[in-house]
Amino acid sequence: MSDRVNSLRTGPDERGHFGIFGGRFVAETLMPLVLDLERAYEAAKQDSAFKKEMDYHLKHFVGRPSPLYFAERLTAHFGGAKIYFKREDLNHTGAHKVNNVLGQIMLAKRMNKPRVIAETGAGMHGVATATLCAKFGLQCVVFMGAVDVARQEPNVLRMRALGAEVRPVESGSKTLKDAMNEALRDWVTNVHDTFYCIGTVAGPHPYPAMVRDFQCVIGDETRTQIMELEGRLPNALVACIGGGSNAMGLFHPFLDDRDVAIYGVEAAGHGLDKQHAASLAGGRPGVLHGNRTYLLMNEDGQIEEAHSISAGLDYPGIGPEHSWLYEIGRVKYLSATDDEALAAFQLCSRLEGIIPALEPSHALAKLEQLARGKPKDHIIVVNLSGRGDKDLASVASYIDKKISA
């Protein structure tokens, strides 16, 4: 954008702040590592060979560009807006996660780090990390909450097949937040040879900005594709939010197009008045995992356990740039419950022949509200951030429980 003064795409500042959010709240042991990473990333950004290599792998290994697909029967079902899916589920490894991991693993190679660690919730980030570590010949250790190991077993098997070590985390709530704690503990212990590959737009600076930059390929492609298909920008974008990397990747290239409405969908779990994972709707600003952002916590600042049917959204925080976009009002944040997501999962599978992951099913769940009643030329792009094969067992058991309840 030419008007940088009014651009919403210039953040963060040099200390990693998006407004009051972000920052570098880490132990001293990690601070030199975080500064090293920042330098290495800045250098890579300026290096045309890095970009060229990344583009090559995005095309030939990941399979980009991913299609922008007209969801014809879903459009007819709602009878309103024209619905497009950005098909991140068609990427190699089955989700958007691979876009970011490719960039980080190439950085790990540049920094001569032979060992890579990652945290994972649903397992998609773990699978992507295991995949690229295999491709680039690096050792890979993935931390995964014991609860998630149980509910996302196919991904555990995939990671092991790819040669990664999966370490179940038994501390705390045994989900994504605890996996991240354990990954940080590992990093602080293995400072010399280890690269920490964070899976979302959170953590200490430069992670939120770096992961966003790697994911912006989603929005950049969408922009080109919608211009080719429709000759204009969409009216609205919709994406689900856990940490918020698929959403940030789609949203960021459109932030300065003020006519494009942008919607993020948090996980409302059992309901916003019960246990959920909607940090913006139900939390407030605090400090965890290296950044200041909206968090679910009690009045003493103790972090509360999140709940979502989707392991990938089951996190009590959100990326700091989302907190900022929420406060300035550029992005509207909605939420969808477990039940709503499940209904959308089934609807999409049956009408489109696409089994979505439970995460983007939260975004699909808001189409009723965002698409129905809109004029036929109203264009909505939904980020179909991942495929649902991994969720079939948990969907089946959830439906069984509902029937027997």
Partner 1 sequence: MTAVTRIDSRFKALAGEGRAALVTFITAGDPDYETSLAILKALPKAGADIVELGVPFTDAMADGPPIQAASLRALAGGQSLKKTIAMVRAFREGDNTTPIVLMGYYNPIYIYGVETFLKDAKEAGVDGLIVVDLPPEEDEELCLPAMKAGINFIRLSTPTTDDKRLPAVLKNTSGFVYYVSIAGVSGAATPEASKVTEAVARIKRHTALPIAVGFGLKTPEHARAIASGADGAVVGSALVEAVRTSLDEQGRATAGTVKAVTDLVTKLSEGVRSARRQAAE
Catalytic annotation, residues: 97, 119, 385
**Cα–Cα distance, 322 to 49 (Å, whole number):** 31
From 43-51, 85-93, 159-167, 177-185, give the range in contact with partner 1 by CB under 8 A: 177-185
Residue of 15, 401, 403, 405 interacting with partner 1 (CB under 8 A) = 15
End-to-end CA distance of the chain: 54
Nearer to partner 1, 23 or 388 (CB): 23
User: Which residue shows structure tokens 């990093």?
Assistant: 187
- By beta-carbon proximity to partner 1, the closer residue of 28 and 259 is 28
Residues from 305 through 344 that contact partner 1 (CB under 8 A): none
Closest CB 26 distance from partner 1, rounded Å: 6
Sheet with strand 284-288: strands edge to edge: 17-18, 21-25, 290-295, 284-288
Q: What is the DSSP letter of 241?
A: -
Which of 184, 211 has the CB closer to partner 1?
Answer: 184
Instruction: Give backbone dihedrals phi and psi of 238, rounded to 5 degrees, phi first.
Output: -135, 135
Cα dihedral 74/75/76/82 (nearest 10): -170
Of 280-309, binders to partner 1 (CB under 8 A) are 286-290, 295, 297, 299-303
Helices 207-215, 320-328: crossing angle, 10 deg rounding? 80
Residue for token pair 């500064």: 35
20 part of the interface to partner 1, by CB under 8 A: no
Per the structure block, which two tokens stand in for 245?
């990397």
Residue with Cβ nearer partner 1 (39 or 402): 39
Query: Contacts with partner 1: how many residues (CB under 8 A)?
Result: 36
Nearer to partner 1, 26 or 318 (CB): 26
CB of 352 to partner 1, least distance (A): 40
Nearer of residues 4 and 192 to partner 1, judged by Cβ = 192
**What type of residue is 120?**
T
x/- track of binding to partner 1 for residues 23-42 (CB under 8 A): xxxxxxxxxxx---------
- Min CB(261)–partner 1 separation in Å: 33
Please say which residue, 72 or 170, places its beta carbon nearer to partner 1.
170
Which residue is it, tokens 């963060």?
Answer: 12
Asked if 77 contacts 351 with a C-beta cutoff of 8 angstroms, the reply is yes
Contact 288, 303 (CB under 8 A): yes
Task: Spell out a b/e string for 37-57, using b for 16 or more CB atoms within 10 Å of the CB, else e.
Answer: bbebbeebeeeeebeeebeeb
How far apart are CB 15 and partner 1 at their closest, in Å? 7
Q: How far apart are CA 251 and CA 378, in angstroms?
A: 18
CA 394, 345, 238, 304 torsion-angle sign: negative
Residue 183-202 contact track with partner 1, rule CB under 8 A, x = bound: -xx--xxxxx----------
* Least Å from the CB of residue 196 to partner 1: 12
Q: Contact, 144 vs 158, CB < 8 A?
A: no
Single residue of 64, 96, 177, 223 touching partner 1 by CB under 8 A: 177
At closest approach, how far in Å is the CB of 109 from partner 1?
Answer: 22
Q: Compute the least distance from the CB of residue 195 to partner 1, in Å.
A: 15
DSSP string, 167-194: EEE-STTSSHHHHHHHHHHHHHHSTTTE
Tokens, residue 390: 């991994």
Binding site for partner 1 (CB under 8 A): 15, 23-33, 171-172, 177-178, 181, 184-185, 188-192, 286-290, 295, 297, 299-303
